[in-house]
Amino acid sequence: MKIDITKIIIFCFIAFSLFVFWKGLKNSSNYDTTQLIGSKISNFQLININNDDQYISQEDFKKNKFTLINFFASWCVPCRSEHEYLLNLSNKEIKIVGINFKDKKSNAINFLEELGDPYYFVGEDSNGKVSISFGIYGIPESILINSDLTVIKKIVGPIDQIQYDEILKLIQ
Amino acid sequence: MKVKSIFFIICILITLPMHASDNQTRLLEVYKNLRCLVCQGQSIADSNSDFAATIKLVVQDQFNNGKTEEEVYNFLISKYGEWIVYQPTFNKNNFLLWVLPYAVLIFGGFIIFLIVRKTKHKKVN
C-alpha cells in the first residue's frame, strides 16, 4: 500500500492547528494575580500619613507574624464596604497596614475618623508608585504576608465575609 | 579659541534635543509593549487611565535610575505576570510560538527543494 505523504502532512497540520486552538481556548485571558502568591514583597519606604517624620519599610513587617497590607482611598466607594471587616480583623492576631492610594491627606484622615482606624500604620502613596511595586492595579486590594515577607494571599476588590473567613483561617 | 568654544557649545545644544527625543522614543516603545490591565485592548501608550499614568511614572523612574529595558520588563512581569507585556519572553509555555515559524520555513524550504529536484529528474528522464 502506497502511503500518501501529502495527506499525512495535511492531516498533521489540521490536527496540530486544532490542538493549538483547543489549548488557546482553555487558557484564561483574564488578568489574575495568583503568580504573586509565594513571592516576596519588594523593598519600599512610605511616610506616615499622620507624621512626616515616621517611615515604614518592609523590614518593619518582619516583626509581625502576619501583616495585612490594605490599599485604600477616601474616594473609593468599595473601600467603605470592606472597612467593617478590617476593623474586626484589627482585633485578631494580625497587624494591618493601610496604604493610602492617590488621595488627599486631609480626606484620608477624615475617612478614618468617620469609619474608624483599623491600621497600626497608614503610609502615604500620593502618586501610586509604591503600589505598583506591590502589583496593585486598582483599589481596594489587600495583600497578606508572613514574617518572611512572603505573599500568602492577595485579594483584589473589597474584603467580604468569604475573604474575611479565609484570612482568619490562614492566620490561625 | 573663542570660535572653537562657540562651535563646541552649538554642537552640545544641537545634540541635546536629539538625546532627549531618543529617550522619548525608547519610553514610547516600552509603553507600546505594555498592556493596560484596566482597559479593553489598549497599551499603556494609548491609555489615559490612572493605572497607565502610574506605570508610565514607574517606567520613567526606572530608566532614570539606569535600568535597562529588560530590567524594567522583568520588574513589571514579576508584579503583574507575563500578561502585562504584549511581546512575551521565551519560556517553556510559549517556545512553540517562537520556534514554529522558523521550523515551518525550514520544512517548507526542504519540501520545495524535494519537489524541484523531483521535477528536474522527471524532465531528464
Residues 10-39 on B with a CB inside 8 Å of A are 37-38
Residue A43 lies in a domain: yes
Query: Based on the domain organization, do B13 and B51 belong to the same domain?
Result: yes
CATH assignment at residue A136? 3.40.30.10
What does the alpha-carbon distance between residue B78 and residue A140 come to, in Å, rounded to a whole number?
21
All cell numbers assigned to A122: 497608614
Contact B37 A36 (CB under 8 A): no
Q: pLDDT band for position B90 (50/70/90)?
A: confident
Least confident of A121-130, B16-25, B107-116: B16-25
Rounded to the nearest angstrom, the minimum Cα separation between A20 and chain B is: 10
Query: Based on the domain organization, do B57 and B80 belong to the same domain?
Result: yes
How high is the pLDDT of residue B12? 62
Query: Based on the domain organization, do B28 and B56 belong to the same domain?
Result: yes
Residue A141 lies in a domain: yes
How high is the pLDDT of residue B95? 78
Q: pLDDT band for position B1 (50/70/90)?
A: low
Number of independent structural domains in chain A: 1
B40 interfaces chain A, CB cutoff of 8 Å:
no
Query: Based on the domain organization, do B12 and B60 belong to the same domain?
Result: yes
pLDDT digits (tens, 9 = 90+) for B44-75: 999 999 999 999 999 999 999 999 999 999 99
Cβ neighbours around A89 below 10 Å, total:
23
CATH assignment at residue B18? 1.10.8.640
B61 interfaces chain A, CB cutoff of 8 Å:
yes
Residue A4 lies in a domain: no
Q: What is the mean pLDDT of residues B105-110?
A: 91
- Report if pTM > 0.90: no
Residue A125 lies in a domain: yes
Number of independent structural domains in chain B: 2
How high is the pLDDT of residue A90? 94
Query: Based on the domain organization, do B51 and B96 belong to the same domain?
Result: no
Domain interval for residue A162? 34-171
Query: Based on the domain organization, do B6 and B62 belong to the same domain?
Result: yes
Residue A149 lies in a domain: yes
Rounded to the nearest angstrom, the minimum Cα separation between A9 and chain B is: 11
Query: Based on the domain organization, do B79 and B124 belong to the same domain?
Result: no
Say what the ipTM of the complex is: 0.77
Cβ neighbours around A78 below 10 Å, total:
15
Residue A24 lies in a domain: no
B63 interfaces chain A, CB cutoff of 8 Å:
no
Contact A128 B78 (CB under 8 A): no
Q: Give A127 or B125, the one with higher predicted confidence.
A: A127
Query: Based on the domain organization, do B30 and B83 belong to the same domain?
Result: yes
Residue A46 lies in a domain: yes
Q: Are B60 and B47 in contact (CB under 8 A)?
A: no
Domain interval for residue B114? 90-125
Contact A134 B79 (CB under 8 A): yes
Q: Spell out, as residue ranges, where chain A has pLDDT lower than 50.
A: none
Tell me which residue of A127, A128, A151, A137 sits closest to A69, measured CA to CA. Answer: A151
Tell me which residue of A35, A85, A82, A71 sits closest to A143, measured CA to CA. Answer: A71
Query: Based on the domain organization, do B60 and B99 belong to the same domain?
Result: no
